[in-house]
Amino acid sequence: MLSCPYSTWLEIDLEAIRSNIHCLQTITSRPVMAVIKANAYGHGQVEVARAAAEAGAAFLCVARIEEAAALRHGGITLPVLVTGSCLPEQIPEAVEYGISLTVHDPDLTEAYNMMARGLNQPLRVHAKLDSGMGRLGVFPEEGLPFIRQIKESKHLLLEGMFTHMARGDEPGVDTTDWQLDRFTKLVEAVEASGLRPQWVHAANSATAIYFPRARFDIIRPGIAIFGLDPSDEAPLPPGFRPALIWKARIGAIKTLPAGHGVGYNYRYISSGNERFAVVSVGYADGFRRRMNNTVLVGGRRVPVVGGVCMDQCVARINDIPEARVGDEVILLGAQGSSTITAEDLARTWETNNYEVVCGLAARVPRVYYG
């Protein structure tokens, strides 16, 4: 389908991303705030932001103001919320680009208000409540005076209030309901005081799918947009599909005699006359330096042997006589009847699929279609 003149590259299906967002809108009957922090979980933030806008996303969400500014530089005009903390010195940038910031404590709120005073436009903010995550935010029990403080800050415009679930991807545990009870109680008190902002939000991907009461005004999914399961216990329902394929090429093929070492420190010794493909991908691309990696060659899964080097690795292809220099090798994705998923890679690397895709290096070109 695509002919890419690269050593290693990612192919990203923007139609899959649009379709996954439509799935979320259908399942939850809510607008979507697309979480595209960390370069859209490795998928490329400007391109994904455009696809999200086409799919009808109402808002974008990133972790840092640097990411939000890069979206504006890329021509993205959708509202953007920064959920991480931000220095008062960065307020002029937020106001200039019309970026919404998170306020998560009373002193910071006052500092933001003072910074915004000197500028001509108000600063848009969302109030962060810590309903049980143990990270950023004010406890719900102290939430009402906090919301009132923001409302009374002349140079701040309160657009939203939100919280985040610690265990939304474990649908069986009861702490999510406990968190939602605390947050909901505050939302009701805020409403009763006439202070309710436009956007109340609480649900990441798993929470949006598995806890209908967490959906409030808008959902805040990240991983589901990319067609990846929030966890083994909270898989995506049918209809979602992964958007990313990771490929590399065979740079050389060689046969080594019995007893010959392969690569640094000879972590593999060939037994008999064995055939190997030198593959143009390494740990500097995000292909981790582990001993149990596999890749797809000629539609079949083969072991990577020896240590993964910075820019190359070596696959044993005794059973793939048809392999040729220049052939595509799949690190993540399907070839023939075989597939390596992000979840498979996560098991191999003893991590989760989030870290797998976020770890794809900037050096690897992203190619878009769909």
Ligand X SMILES: *Cc1c(COP(=O)(O)O)cnc(C)c1O
Site for ligand X in 342-361 (CB under 6 A): none
C-alpha span between 253 and 326 (Å, rounded): 10
Among residues 230, 282, 286, 298, the one that binds ligand X under rule CB under 6 A: 230
C-alpha span between 94 and 97 (Å, rounded): 5
Least distance between ligand X and beta carbon 220 (Å): 4
Residue 8 vs 83, nearer CB to ligand X = 83
C-alpha span between 228 and 239 (Å, rounded): 12
Strand order in the sheet with 123-128: 33-35, 59-62, 80-82, 100-103, 123-128, 156-162, 199-201
Does the protein bind ligand X through residue 160 (CB under 6 A)?
no
Does the protein bind ligand X through residue 223 (CB under 6 A)?
yes
Measured in whole angstroms, the distance separating CA 347 from the mean position of its chain's CA atoms is 18
Among residues 140, 221, 227, 282, the one that binds ligand X under rule CB under 6 A: 221
C-alpha span between 101 and 122 (Å, rounded): 12
Least distance between ligand X and beta carbon 111 (Å): 21
Q: Among candidates 68, 195, 236, 207, which has minimal Cα distance to 131?
A: 207
Q: Which two tokens stand for residue 73?
A: 């530089």
C-alpha span between 199 and 138 (Å, rounded): 17
Least distance between ligand X and beta carbon 223 (Å): 4
C-alpha span between 361 and 283 (Å, rounded): 9
Site for ligand X in 125-154 (CB under 6 A): none
Residue 83 vs 109, nearer CB to ligand X = 83
Please say whether the dihedral angle defined by the alpha carbons of residues 114, 116, 119 and 121, taken in this order, is positive or negative: negative
Least distance between ligand X and beta carbon 131 (Å): 12
Least distance between ligand X and beta carbon 81 (Å): 9
Residue 197 vs 222, nearer CB to ligand X = 222
C-alpha span between 290 and 109 (Å, rounded): 46
Least distance between ligand X and beta carbon 83 (Å): 4
Strands, E, within the chain: which ranges? 8-13, 33-35, 59-62, 80-82, 100-103, 123-128, 156-162, 199-201, 244-256, 261-262, 268-269, 274-279, 294-297, 300-305, 313-316, 328-335, 338-340, 366-369
Give the catalytic positions in this structure: 37, 264
Does the protein bind ligand X through residue 222 (CB under 6 A)?
yes
Residue nearest to ligand X (CB): 222
Site for ligand X in 70-99 (CB under 6 A): 83
Site for ligand X in 26-55 (CB under 6 A): 35, 37
Residue 164 vs 215, nearer CB to ligand X = 164
Q: Which stretch binds ligand X (CB under 6 A): 5-13, 137-145, 216-224, 241-249?
A: 216-224
Site for ligand X in 171-210 (CB under 6 A): 204-205
Q: How many residues bind ligand X (CB under 6 A)?
A: 12
Q: No. of H helices and E strands in the chain?
A: 11, 18
> Contact positions toward ligand X, by CB under 6 A?
35, 37, 83, 164, 204-205, 220-224, 230
